[in-house]
Structure 1
């Protein structure tokens, strides 16, 4: 029968009494009995018996000193360091994390300096003690991730592809790779379509057109009822009117929705640089591809939307989402990559919102900057988040209503 740790400690304590005063043969006899009973290694048992009742100071491999008390029964547990970030801090941090749409610590930490006072001013959070406020303002990215570790839930969904190759017109459109964006200026945007087919690519269904500015990360979305070039072109015009900067360039994949004479001549007429990515190379559109996930998929999901009502609700969502994402959602930009053998070290800048990047850009007019700053000061990110959630519930009701109607029609067809 295996002895408990406490029972072994008692045996060692009793056997150690007078052990150091015994002769060599007597020590061997007592040591044999201890090893037989406890199952300890002989050297380990001999050391325990020799050191019992003594205090020894040792050093770890890192050079840190610690005290070893041979009498294991009298070892006191080292008092744990008092938590710096208590439940009050964690409670407010969780609320801020939810309002900001669950960002990682590296994105959230740089925003705390302006986010905490802003949420306090709008009455979204109440901080009673100055200590709590100071802790929130000085909290590090790694501490945020550690405190919120138990709250994080990640859902990975399969990606679906619905892009169709374009026409021979693509031979007249210049190819641009991801590396060509190194010196990009404000106004050069990547565009892509996100399908809302819900796993059933048959028939017609809605799409979301996404345009992302490479330099600032400013993102605009517009829902269209199908892949027709007419609706996509119309959506580009609507988005262009909403941009806080002039549109200088458009870059797309090789989808025939974009590679067409209509859009090609439109860009020529308006002096907009029109480029395309390499065939079957999604990394060329990496800026808009990441927004397809972080903005569109994380917000509206993968359900099938194919009615006029759903398209209208999607555009209502995007009207609010554009303010929430561009004014209050920080993003980090890759500065450089260094390869060391098989490893690649990536260096990112300090996360900033697209709004902040536009303010720092000399290419954006002062009038536009004043308007953006006014919108930032007036808007409450928590209120925007609640409005987005309300519209998402509205979209869900429309989807369930449509689904129930389809099931009823199928049931009636079976009965007839």
Structure 2
């Protein structure tokens, strides 16, 4: 008799053993089971009178969560932050809560406010995340522009030593779907290295003149003067049009090393966390889709620059065989820009402060508007 069969025989006789009124009846059942299973009598007594092995052991109830009352609010704040990780959301949580309360998006009692101000990043990370789709990869559409490459200086990831706003990394994200055939829409991404301030501008195709026009449109949206542009080696950037454009505006023009994506790590990160996260990987090519994409990216620009806390890598510490990365306190690009003091005009500061505190354009409202536009884009 196998062990599983023997255990099943003992389990079936368990009820009879427990109902036995005399020791003689119990002894008779034990004698029967010893003959059938070969188990020792003491072992059979433990199996018959102990907890039922077929039933899972009951777990004692745990203590009530400290943040149980504030959990619904915490979920709303987490969603309004576009599901930011705990470390990014923890420091921005008081500001985000104030913005949503002022806009009438949420109501917070003094007790709930006290709980939310004391919540840790680990508690935020324990929130049940929504099912995430598998991460996709886009197609590379960079074609080398070799004619002017030798005339444009190289800047690597280690060469960013400027401690001021205005030095940007630029790149194109192709909304080509599964194939690069034909004409499709692209998104021009421009990211300030020091503050993280990012501007997205959609464009049709990736022609040289169209790229310069999109660059000019994006340049006007930055709240500080553009002093330098760093691009990859694609022909849409490495061309005479952009060289003349930068020279006429006294903008420093540099490029990354070929096939070294880390030289443009700041803008490459935004390509994934902003463009792909919001718009995705579907193919976009019509004028109607271009109009919708412009409406989407105007709102994405505002959401990212005012309400998207980010961490900057300060240094790396080697500890034996491991490398420990040290980051600064998470701040939004708007907060980093004000801390730098690179916004010279008081009018610009007032405009930025007004846009930041605008109740009609609060984080939750912006995300709802972006979601509605994305649904329309998906129907095209």
> What TM-score does the superposition give when structure 1 sets the normalisation length?
0.76
3-state SS of the aligned residue for 1:285? helix
Q: Is the 8 A contact 2:168 2:193 kept in 1?
A: yes
1:38-84 residue CA offsets vs partner (Å, 9 max, x unmatched)? 69xxxxxxxxxxxxxxxxxxxxxxxxxxxxxxxxxxxx986632220
Aligned match of 2:24: none
Distance 1:105 1:154, change over 3 A: farther
Match of 2:42 among 34, 59, 63: 34
3-state SS in 2 of match to 1:360: helix
Say if 1:184 and 1:214, in contact at 8 Å, map to a contact too. Answer: no
- Residue 130 of structure 1: aligned partner: 110
| 5+ residue gaps, structure 1 | 12-31, 40-75, 400-416
Counterparts of 1:145 and 1:318 in 2: how far apart (Å)?
28
- Distance in 2 separating the partners of 1:305 and 1:375: 30
Question: Which of 165, 178, 199 matches 2:144?
Answer: 165
1:292 corresponds in structure 2 to 271
Task: Name the counterpart of 2:187.
Answer: 208
Q: What's the CA shift for 1:36?
A: 7.7
CA deviation profile, 1:287-317 (whole Å, cap 9, x unmatched): 0001001111111111111111111211111
Q: CA-atom RMSD, angstroms?
A: 2.6
- The reply to whether residue 218 of structure 1 matches residue 180 of structure 2 is no
Alpha-carbon deviation of 1:395?
A: 1.5
Task: Give the conservation status (yes or no) of the 8 Å contact 1:116–1:137.
Answer: no
TM-score by structure 2 length? 0.83
The count of residues paired between Structure 1 and Structure 2 equals 341
Q: Does 2:280 align with 1:301?
A: yes
| Alignment-derived partner of residue 94 in structure 1 | 75
Q: Does 1:85 align with 2:74?
A: no
**1:105-254 matches, cutoff 5 A:** 105-127=86-108, 129-146=109-126, 148-151=127-130, 153=132, 155-254=134-233
Q: Structure 2 unaligned runs (5+)?
A: 1-5, 19-39, 48-57
Q: 1:310 to 1:91 in 2, by over 3 A?
A: same
Partner deviation per Cα, 1:257-285 (whole Å, 9 max, x = no partner): 00001111221221111110011000100
Alignment of 1:17-96 (within 5 A): 33-34=41-42, 80-86=62-68, 88-96=69-77
CA separation in 2, counterparts of 1:150 and 1:116? 20
Q: Any conservation in 2 of the 1:204–1:306 contact (CA below 8 Å)?
A: yes
User: Are residue 387 (structure 1) and residue 369 (structure 2) matched?
Assistant: yes
SS in structure 2 at match of 1:274: strand
Map 1:366-381 to 2 at 5 A: 366-367=345-346, 368-378=348-358, 379-381=361-363
Mapped contact 2:212–2:245 kept (Cα < 8 A): no
Instruction: Identify the match of residue 264 of structure 1 among 231, 236, 243.
Output: 243
Give the Cα–Cα distance (whole angstroms) in 1 for the partners of residues 182 and 59 of structure 2.
68
Distance in 2, matches of 1:182 and 1:103, equals 28
Partner of 2:84 in structure 1? 103
After TM superposition, the runs of 4+ consecutive aligned structure 1 residues lying more than 4 A away are 35-39, 76-79
SS state at 2:220 partner: helix
Q: Which structure is richer in relative contact order (CA contacts within 8 A, separation 6 or more)?
A: 2
From 304, 313, 324, the equivalent of 1:334 is 313
